[in-house]
């Protein structure tokens, strides 16, 4: 680091080259008044309060870089009077209702005013010329009172430089200058993403949270929503969660949060939480004691030991919760019938990437994405589903990285993309193989990598014969020229990271899609290097962890196969019981099994399959056919209402544990308030103990993690002590002295041969395509403001305001032809069912394709979707089905 020495007010100050005078002074503890400077943002020079004297000239300290030998005075008579004048002009515009302003005592305007010694007499000569701005209360989380705005531009720059949303800018000019959205509309009507990043940086009371309550204490923990795993300080007053503040020390989010993580926690204290166990008596669910509920569950379950039982664990619950659930299923109930909703999102990633690379997880780290020079984002609406990862992409693109978006819908990222490939839904194998073929034809492959690190290349090359550019253009609808351009960009701009999500996996050929991603990355040598890789973005907060913990029918914790005698022996020894060797049923098969009476009892934790699973009628029928259903959840969900026993669980705020995020990072969840129910791990252990099982006497989650570490090699070195650090630990972390692994496959792959495996593929069209009767292709996804089936987010009032109803997005031409206008109620039907929704006419939907999310109980999108399964991963084809659309 090059350093520079200068003197400030006669004091020698040594600082980093390139720093501004203001930064140098502040770092040394010398205060220079300033209002428009923010350490996260570039210099702006708007407030003009930071004037200093440099070798006799007056310069802005925030804008002037330090230089060797520079002599700076921060106080002179001239400076004081100029600053005072500047400040008076600001105060002239500013309302003086400080005592009732929620920024009172934390306001920078007050601070500067006090520093400059502005007196009442000074204010008396002002002639207030206040701007008239009604307070914008449209955003559900914070208000904008622009009469208090000092036009420092911090919010504008935050929204642009940090959030990359660009929802606001300076509008108009002269005395009318204000912070405006497009058309100076209320914030809620703009493209604001409600991240609140501007809110936390506004130096005055112009942006203030609604109903703000200062927390009386804070606890650092992990966001319970998506797989990004942002770290924040949860703020409490008594037993109520009142705030959340991003943790700047985290390599995951560096203090940034999305709307859900910052404002989405009111579900914790929601009045509809269940706090007492419920038991079905005479057909009705009635309150009961824990004693009775647990004894009843234990007695009934004892009658269903073996393969008549199935457990569904949860990607929302902690690793420790999931570990004991699968242990209960395997060691106590004697069956491998255990699965969870990963089946519905990333089972193909686990299956496909295990085949290609030997390890089914994101190869690189989130932080890595800042080093990426070219992104191929396929089937991921990152800014909606994984907002903080979306920020990394936006930032890298700002710094010059290329971005190729491949998606049937015009998603937000297209605004900043270099290329937008709009493939027809379900044609990803053709698209990816077509790109691979062009790369080979043009000789752009990484020969060295292929020769040294991979196998099966020749077969793969042969399989590409079917994917000449003309054919691929015909199948995908992407013009040949664009295919060529994209292939060249991805192959030559390195490192290139491939990111994907459910747009790749939720297909009847989801595993093939994943394999095609692996092939393309190996072909270009984009593996095992910073900024490269194949990166499945996992949906739920702990979907990675619940797979790691063996919440899958074919593997024990740590992906050790149940049909391997060696692995079984290891677990039998550890658990002291004989274990079943037959892989169990998958989620979808469990409901089939229920219908044909093979499955009679189910223990279901933290899931709501009646809403989340494709072909919901079928699921409902399965659940109704069960003899005994136990549901453990925070709320009386649609599924819980059908249960025989409902056990009140606890949210992330009420228990200790760990979540493993999408980049394999194990992070702590910390108890912040008194539990309203009982921690899930404890409930499961109590059921097991009531059944007379051994090996469930855990004192706390740390004890469970110790057992996990002794059995799952990836977690070998994970202990709660080590997780106290700011970054957690990224698996594989095989031993106590291992630092964890940010990038997989750097030297060799995890496959038996140590080489990456190319897999030849063919194109298989989606199982259900539009026809005369059902002319539209329905594809599903999620909204920025809701999460999964909405059991949590829909309990947050603010998030509901932003996305209150289910919308069906339809392109303008199609809507015009059907005579449907924006906002009209419509009926969508498929071969399996129909739902009502509100039409949203938008060019984001290409002709012939309509889009819905699946967060709403009133419009159950999953009544429509197709049950066709991927043959390997058994994931249902939620992304493609044929529907018709009519006026309601």
Please report, as ranges, the residues that interact with ligand SF4 according to CB under 6 A. 149-155, 158-159, 163, 165, 167-168, 179, 192-198, 202-204, 206-207, 223, 225-226, 228-230, 253, 257-258, 260-261, 386-388
- Interface residue with another protein, options 61, 165, 350, 849 (CB under 8 A): 165
259, 411, 376: which is closest to 781 by C-alpha?
411
204 binds, among another protein, ligand SF4, ligand FES, none (CB under 5 to 8 A by kind): ligand SF4
Stretch that binds another protein, among 137-145, 173-181, 338-346, 606-614 (CB under 8 A): 173-181
Residues 373-432 that bind another protein (CB under 8 A): 415-416
Phi, psi of 798 (to 5 degrees): -60, -45
* CA–CA dist 319, 662 (Å, integer): 14
228 binds, among ligand FES, ligand SF4, another protein, none (CB under 5 to 8 A by kind): ligand SF4
- Interface residue with another protein, options 46, 101, 167, 802 (CB under 8 A): 167
Phi, psi of 730 (to 5 degrees): -100, 125
- Interface residue with another protein, options 106, 170, 582, 621 (CB under 8 A): 170
278 binds, among another protein, ligand FES, ligand SF4, none (CB under 5 to 8 A by kind): none
* Nearest to ligand SF4 of 188, 574 (CB atom): 188
Dihedral over alpha carbons 815, 816, 820, 822 (to 10 degrees): 70
- Interface residue with another protein, options 45, 65, 171, 334 (CB under 8 A): 171
Stretch that binds another protein, among 184-192, 213-221, 531-539, 612-620 (CB under 8 A): 184-192
Binding mask 105-144 for another protein (x = CB under 8 A): ----------------------------------------
> For the chain, first and last CA: distance in Å?
67
* CA–CA dist 888, 369 (Å, integer): 45
* Nearest to ligand SF4 of 166, 358 (CB atom): 166
* Nearest to ligand SF4 of 156, 439 (CB atom): 156
Helices of type H across 442-536:
447-453, 457-463, 469-476, 480-492, 502-505, 510-523
Residue 190 contacts another protein per CB under 8 A:
yes
230 binds, among ligand FES, another protein, ligand SF4, none (CB under 5 to 8 A by kind): ligand SF4
* Nearest to ligand SF4 of 554, 783 (CB atom): 783
Cis omega (within 30 of 0) on the bond before 694?
no
* CA–CA dist 562, 311 (Å, integer): 16
Residues in contact with ligand FES by the rule CB under 6 A: 34-37, 45-50, 60, 62
* Nearest to another protein of 31, 172 (CB atom): 172
Closest distance to ligand SF4 from the beta carbon of 369 (Å): 13
Tell me the number of residues near another protein by CB under 8 A. Answer: 19
Residue 180 contacts another protein per CB under 8 A:
yes
Closest distance to ligand FES from the beta carbon of 111 (Å): 13
The strand pairing partners of 660, in sequence order, are 666
* CA–CA dist 772, 791 (Å, integer): 37
Pairing assessment for the beta strands 169-171 and 178-180 based on DSSP bridges: antiparallel
* CA–CA dist 134, 543 (Å, integer): 45
- Interface residue with another protein, options 9, 53, 169, 482 (CB under 8 A): 169
Closest distance to ligand FES from the beta carbon of 48 (Å): 5
Q: Is 884 strand, coil or helix?
A: strand
* Nearest to another protein of 409, 655 (CB atom): 409
Query: In this structure, are residues 642 and 624 in contact, taking their beta carbons and an 8 Å threshold?
Result: yes
- Interface residue with another protein, options 57, 120, 127, 173 (CB under 8 A): 173
Q: Is 443 strand, coil or helix?
A: coil
Helices (H) and strands (E) in the chain, counts: 29, 37
Stretch that binds another protein, among 104-112, 168-176, 606-614, 650-658 (CB under 8 A): 168-176
Distances in Å between the Cα of 351 and the Cα atoms of 544, 682, 838 are: 13, 31, 37
408 binds, among another protein, ligand SF4, ligand FES, none (CB under 5 to 8 A by kind): none
* Nearest to ligand FES of 38, 265 (CB atom): 38
Pairing assessment for the beta strands 51-54 and 71-73 based on DSSP bridges: antiparallel
The strand pairing partners of 779, in sequence order, are 851
Residue 184 contacts another protein per CB under 8 A:
yes
Closest distance to ligand FES from the beta carbon of 229 (Å): 35
Stretch that binds another protein, among 159-167, 268-276, 695-703, 779-787 (CB under 8 A): 159-167
198 binds, among ligand SF4, another protein, ligand FES, none (CB under 5 to 8 A by kind): ligand SF4
Quote the tokens at residue 521. Answer: 């990355």
Q: Is 57 strand, coil or helix?
A: strand
SS3 content of the chain, % helix, strand, coil (to 5): 35, 20, 45
Closest distance to another protein from the beta carbon of 314 (Å): 39
* Nearest to ligand FES of 44, 375 (CB atom): 44
160 binds, among ligand FES, ligand SF4, another protein, none (CB under 5 to 8 A by kind): another protein
Burial (CB count <10 Å: 0-12, 13-18, 19+), residue 215: middle
Distances in Å between the Cα of 868 and the Cα atoms of 513, 622, 828, 829 are: 16, 17, 19, 17
* CA–CA dist 217, 233 (Å, integer): 9
Do you know the residue count of the chain? 888
User: Which long-range CB contacts under 8 A does 237-243 form with residues at least 24 apart?
Assistant: 237/213, 239/269, 239/673, 239/674, 240/269, 240/673, 241/265, 241/266, 241/268, 241/269, 241/653, 241/672, 241/673, 242/213, 242/214, 242/215, 243/209, 243/212, 243/213, 243/214, 243/215, 243/218
98, 19, 13, 109: which is closest to 62 by C-alpha?
19
* Nearest to another protein of 150, 636 (CB atom): 150
371, 327, 167, 165: which is closest to 256 by C-alpha?
165
Closest distance to ligand FES from the beta carbon of 22 (Å): 6
Closest distance to ligand SF4 from the beta carbon of 136 (Å): 10
* Nearest to another protein of 120, 176 (CB atom): 176
* Nearest to ligand FES of 48, 437 (CB atom): 48
* Nearest to another protein of 183, 752 (CB atom): 183
Closest distance to another protein from the beta carbon of 738 (Å): 44
Instruction: Report the residue number whose CB is nearest to ligand SF4.
Output: 261
Closest distance to ligand SF4 from the beta carbon of 408 (Å): 24
The strand pairing partners of 757, in sequence order, are 455
Distances in Å between the Cα of 842 and the Cα atoms of 183, 814, 820 are: 19, 10, 12
48 binds, among ligand SF4, another protein, ligand FES, none (CB under 5 to 8 A by kind): ligand FES
741, 671, 726, 664: which is closest to 254 by C-alpha?
726
* Nearest to ligand SF4 of 198, 567 (CB atom): 198
Phi, psi of 465 (to 5 degrees): -55, -35
CA 68 to centroid of chain Cα atoms: 46
184 binds, among ligand SF4, ligand FES, another protein, none (CB under 5 to 8 A by kind): another protein
* Nearest to ligand FES of 36, 207 (CB atom): 36
Closest distance to ligand SF4 from the beta carbon of 201 (Å): 6
Question: By the criterion CB under 8 A, which residues form the site for another protein?
Answer: 160, 165-173, 180-184, 190-191, 415-416
């Amino acid at each position: 680091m090059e350093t520079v020495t200068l003197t400030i007010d006669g004091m020698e100050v040594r600082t980093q080259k390139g720093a501004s005078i203001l930064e140098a002074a502040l770092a040394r503890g010398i205060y220079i008044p300033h209002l428009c400077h923010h350490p996260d943002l570039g210099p702006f020079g708007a407030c003009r309060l930071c004037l200093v004297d440099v070798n006799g000239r007056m310069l802005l300290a925030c804008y002037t870089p330090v230089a060797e030998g520079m002599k700076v005075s921060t106080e002179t008579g001239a400076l004081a009077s100029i600053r005072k004048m500047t400040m008076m002009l600001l105060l002239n515009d500013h309302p003086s209702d400080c005592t009732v302003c929620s920024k009172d005592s934390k306001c920078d305007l007050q601070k500067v005013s006090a520093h400059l010694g502005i007196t009442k007499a000074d204010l008396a000569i002002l002639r207030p010329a206040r701007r008239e701005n009604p307070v914008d209360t449209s955003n559900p989380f914070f208000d904008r009172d622009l009469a208090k705005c000092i036009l420092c531009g911090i919010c504008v720059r935050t929204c642009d430089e940090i959030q990359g949303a660009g929802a606001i800018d300076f509008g108009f000019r002269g005395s009318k200058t204000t912070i405006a959205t497009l058309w100076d509309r209320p914030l809620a009507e703009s493209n604001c993403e409600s991240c609140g990043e501007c809110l936390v940086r506004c130096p005055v009371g112009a942006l203030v949270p609604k109903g703000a309550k200062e927390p009386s204490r804070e606890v650092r923990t992990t966001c319970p929503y998506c797989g990004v795993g942002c770290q924040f300080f949860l703020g409490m007053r008594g037993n109520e969660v009142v705030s959340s503040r991003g943790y700047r020390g985290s390599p995951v989010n560096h203090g940034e949060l999305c709307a859900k993580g910052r404002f989405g926690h009111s579900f914790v204290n929601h009045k509809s939480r269940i706090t007492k166990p419920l038991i079905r008596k005479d057909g009705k669910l009635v309150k009961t004691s824990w004693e009775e509920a647990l004894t009843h569950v234990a007695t009934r379950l004892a009658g269903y030991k073996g393969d008549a039982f199935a457990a569904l664990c949860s990607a929302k619950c902690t690793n420790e919760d999931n570990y004991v659930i699968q242990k209960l299923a395997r060691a106590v109930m004697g069956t491998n019938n255990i699965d969870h909703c990963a089946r519905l999102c990333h089972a193909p990633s686990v299956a496909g990437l295990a085949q290609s690379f030997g390890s089914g997880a994101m190869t690189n780290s989130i932080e890595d994405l800042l080093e990426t020079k070219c992104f191929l984002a396929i089937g991921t609406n990152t800014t909606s589903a994984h907002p903080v990862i979306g920020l990394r992409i936006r930032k890298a693109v700002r710094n010059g990285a290329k971005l190729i978006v491949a998606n049937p819908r015009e998603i937000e990222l297209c605004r900043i993309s270099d290329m937008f490939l709009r493939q027809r839904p379900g044609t990803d194998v053709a698209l990816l193989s077509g790109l691979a073929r062009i790369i080979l034809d043009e000789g752009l492959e990484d020969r060295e990598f292929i020769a040294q690190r991979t196998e099966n290349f020749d077969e793969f090359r042969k399989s590409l014969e079917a994917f000449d550019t003309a054919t691929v253009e015909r199948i995908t609808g992407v013009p040949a020229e664009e295919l060529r351009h994209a292939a060249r960009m991805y192959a030559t701009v390195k490192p290139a990271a491939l990111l994907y999500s459910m747009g790749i996996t939720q297909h009847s050929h989801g595993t093939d899609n994943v394999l095609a991603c692996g092939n393309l990355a190996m072909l270009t040598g984009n593996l095992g290097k910073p900024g490269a890789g194949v990166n499945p973005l996992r949906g739920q907060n702990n979907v990675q962890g619940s797979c790691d913990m063996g919440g899958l029918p074919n593997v024990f914790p740590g992906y050790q196969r149940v049909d391997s005698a060696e692995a079984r022996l290891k677990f039998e020894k550890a658990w002291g019981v004989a274990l079943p060797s037959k892989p169990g049923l998958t989620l979808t098969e469990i409901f089939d099994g229920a219908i044909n009476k093979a499955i009679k009892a189910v223990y279901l934790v933290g899931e709501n399959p009646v809403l989340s699973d494709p072909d919901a009628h079928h699921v409902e029928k399965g659940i109704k056919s069960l003899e005994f259903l136990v549901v453990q959840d925070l709320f009386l969900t649609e599924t819980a209402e059908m249960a025989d026993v409902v056990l009140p669980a606890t949210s992330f705020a009420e228990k200790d544990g760990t979540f493993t995020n999408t980049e394999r990072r194990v992070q702590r969840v910390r108890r912040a308030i008194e539990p309203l129910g009982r921690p899930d791990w404890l409930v499961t252990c109590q059921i097991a103990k009531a059944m007379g099982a051994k090996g469930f006497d855990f004192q706390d989650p740390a004890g469970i993690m110790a057992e996990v570490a002794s059995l799952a090699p990836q977690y070998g070195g994970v202990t709660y002590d080590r997780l106290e650090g700011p970054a957690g630990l990224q698996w594989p972390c095989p031993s106590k002295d291992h630092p964890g692994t940010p990038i997989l496959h750097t030297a060799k792959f995890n496959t038996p041969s140590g080489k990456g495996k190319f897999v030849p593929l063919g194109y298989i069209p989606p199982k259900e395509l539009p026809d005369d009767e059902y002319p539209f292709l329905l594809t599903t996804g999620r909204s920025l403001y809701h999460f999964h089936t909405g059991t949590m987010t829909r309990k947050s009032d603010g998030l509901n305001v932003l996305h209150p109803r289910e919308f069906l997005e339809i392109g303008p031409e199609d809507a015009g032809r059907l005579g449907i206008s924006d906002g009209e109620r419509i009926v969508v039907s498929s071969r399996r069912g129909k739902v009502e929704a509100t039409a949203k006419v938008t060019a984001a939907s290409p002709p012939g394709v309509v889009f819905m999310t699946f967060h709403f109980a009133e419009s159950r999108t999953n009544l429509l979707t197709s049950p066709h399964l991927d043959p390997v991963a058994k994931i249902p084809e939620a992304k493609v089905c044929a529907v018709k659309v009519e006026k309601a």
